[in-house]
A = this chain, B = another copy of it.
Amino acid sequence: MEIYPDIPLQQIDAVLEKSQQAFDTYRQVSLLKRAELLRAIASELEEIGDAWIQVAHQETNLPEARLRNERARTIYQLESYGQACAEGDWMRISIDTAFPNRNPPRPDLRKMMIPLGPVVVFGASNFPYAYSTAGGDTASALAAGCSVIVKAHPAHPETSAMATAAIRRALEKCGLPIDTFQHVYGASNEVGKALVQHRNTSAVGFTGSFNGGKQLFDWANQRPHPIPVFAEMGSVNPIFLLPEQMGLEAESLAEKIAGSVILGVGQFCTNPGLLFAVEGDSLLHFKNKLKALLQSVAPAPMLHTGIKDNYQSSSTEWRAKAGVSTLVASVEQPDLCVTPQLTETSLNRFIQDSSLHQEVFGPATLLVVCPTLSDLLVAAAHIEGQLTCSVFGTPAELSAQSGLLQILQTRCGRLNFNMVPTGVEVVQSMQHGGPFPATTDPRFTAVGSDAILRFVRPISYQNCPDDLLPDELKSANPLQIWRKIDGAWSNDSVR
By a beta-carbon cutoff of 8 Å, the part of chain A in contact with chain B is 24, 28, 89, 92, 94-96, 104, 106-107, 109-111, 114, 117, 217-218, 221, 225-226, 228, 385, 395, 398-399, 402, 405-406, 409-410, 412-419, 423, 425, 427-431, 433, 435-437, 440-443, 445, 450, 456-465, 467-468, 482, 484, 487, 489
Contact = CB atoms under 8 A, between A and B. Distances in A.
Given A406-B28, A413-B458, A436 B225 contact: yes
Contacts of A431: 111, 458-460
Given A443-B457, A482-B489, A464 B96 contact: no
Nearest to A464: B417
Contacts of A402: 468
A429 B111 contact: yes
A195 to B, nearest CB: 19
B395 A465 contact: yes
A415 B462 contact: yes
B465 A398 contact: yes
Contact of A429 (B28, B110, B414, B442): B110
Contacts of A96: 425, 427-430
| 4 residue pairs, one from A and one from B, having the closest CB atoms | A109-B429, A431-B460, A96-B427, A96-B429
B226 A436 contact: yes
B405 A111 contact: no
A487 B449 CA distance: 11
Given A419-B462, A482-B489, 12 more contacts: A96-B428, A109-B425, A225-B385, A228-B441, A409-B459, A415-B459, A415-B460, A416-B462, A417-B462, A417-B464, A428-B484, A430-B460
A249 to B, nearest CB: 16
Contacts of A464: 415, 417
